[in-house]
Amino acid sequence: MKSHLAAIAGALLLAAPSIAFAQAGSKGSVKVGVLLPLTGNTAWAGKTNRIAAAIAAEEVNAQDLAGGYKIELVVGDSQCEPRAAHDQAERLISQEKVQLLIGEWCSSASVAVAQVANDEKVPLLINISTADQIAGDSGPYAFQSSMQNRYSQEREAALLQKDFKFESVAIIVENNDFGLTFRKNMVALMQKAGKKVVLDVTQDRNDTNWYATITRIPASKPDLVIVSISAVQAANFVKQYAEAGITTPLFSDYPPPPRIFERQVGAQAGKIGLVRAAFFVKSDTNTPAQKEFVAKLEGRVQKELNEAHDVTYWDVATYDAVRLVADAIKRGGPQAAGYLKAMAVTKIDLVLGHYEFDEQRGSRPEGLNFVFIRTKPDGSIEVVE
């Protein structure tokens, strides 16, 4: 009898993965639209983000993490541009018949997508854009799982006051939703701390010529320069800052992707001693889940794109977004009403950290990772704190 029971138990154990596999999809498929920049100046990130999303969907389907539903991803190239993002969101909803949306990358584009999501009553998870209150201002169908600027800037301002000696600052940002909310928050935080803002400049997002802006820095004599500029433009800025020979300490918001940025302008950033924020840095201190994700994604990128890749925050945030969507489907089903209710009470630990949402459908910042890094003169990275 005992041997029979053991045999049955053994057979059940062996069959468990296939039973789980069979369950995923037993309630049908859910089409999830993912808006990513696959062309344009942020395509460098969108291509690996897509792979991260695909890995998450495969895991969800293999391990039945969406409560019997199979997730089917449909990707739209939203180019980090509001108009393209708006059009792609419309296409995914009307032609591809997606039931749920994830994206976009740039804040201004996410604002446009949120408008479509609310008009069409399709739930949206904004997973990367960090401008404040995108979900809160756009209506009940949008959630924002990325840490909003106001939270990250509070941490940045605290670090600046702790580690830098300064009385005056220059604040330089891009002229878009992302940069402008950073500027608003940082100016308020600096003034609250009694610091003087001696230069406050916004620059067109597509204008690669930062030199004109940089020439204004010595004349205004700030003790510290604070920038919030998207990844590629940040590389142009640092290159031109170093070229101009400006020695004023430079602090950057989180956009420059660790290591990728160092490969581009590590020498210049090291010469300046650039300090910046980061939501995720591949390092020995990563959690086991983070190490596992890094290994999976880097191997897959090597295989699919034939290139070495250093995992970025944006990859992690995209992977986590698919898992968050699956978790909400599992608890509330894919229909908008149940899904939104389930998403609102999310409590889950994923690769980046612990996710919960506040009343405005923005993520609570307490559980999410946030570090500060410095580029050393040899172009390598050290974690400041």
Residue in 27, 29, 31, 43 binding other proteins, rule: CB under 8 A: 43
Residue in 125, 260, 269, 281 binding other proteins, rule: CB under 8 A: 260
Q: Does 187 help bind other proteins (rule: CB under 8 A)?
A: no
Cα separation, 139 vs 104, in Å, equals 16
**Nearest C-alpha neighbor of 29 from the set 88, 99, 90, 123:** 99
Closest CB 183 distance from other proteins, rounded Å = 11
Using CB under 8 A, which of the segments 148-156, 157-165, 195-203, 335-343 binds other proteins? 195-203
Closest CB 46 distance from other proteins, rounded Å = 8
Are residues 270 and 377 in contact, defined by beta-carbon separation less than 8 angstroms? yes
- SS3 assignment, position 237: helix
Q: Does 198 help bind other proteins (rule: CB under 8 A)?
A: no
Q: Does 341 help bind other proteins (rule: CB under 8 A)?
A: no
Question: How buried is residue 325: exposed, middle or buried, by Cβ count under 10 Å (0-12/13-18/19+)?
Answer: buried
Q: Does 99 help bind other proteins (rule: CB under 8 A)?
A: no
Residue in 218, 273, 299, 377 binding other proteins, rule: CB under 8 A: 218
Cα separation, 216 vs 90, in Å, equals 43
Size of the site for other proteins (CB under 8 A): 38
Q: Does 272 help bind other proteins (rule: CB under 8 A)?
A: no
Q: Does 302 help bind other proteins (rule: CB under 8 A)?
A: no
Cα separation, 290 vs 288, in Å, equals 5
Using CB under 8 A, which of the segments 106-114, 190-198, 209-217, 369-377 binds other proteins? 209-217
Looking at residues 60 to 79 of the shown chain, list those that interact with other proteins (rule: CB under 8 A).
none
Sign of the Cα torsion 182, 113, 321, 35 reads negative
- SS3 assignment, position 49: helix
Q: Does 236 help bind other proteins (rule: CB under 8 A)?
A: yes
Which helix (H) or strand (E) covers residue 125, if one does? Answer: strand 124-126
End-to-end CA distance of the chain: 60
For residues 3 to 42, the per-residue mask of contacts with other proteins, x marking binding by CB under 8 A and - elsewhere, is ------------------------------------xxx-
- Give me the amino acid identity at 78: S
Cα separation, 347 vs 279, in Å, equals 19
Q: Does 220 help bind other proteins (rule: CB under 8 A)?
A: no
Lookup: tokens for 65: 């993490």
Q: Which residues here bind other proteins, judged by CB under 8 A?
A: 39-41, 43-44, 47, 175, 201-204, 206-209, 211-216, 218-219, 232, 235-236, 239-240, 243-246, 260, 263-265, 305, 307
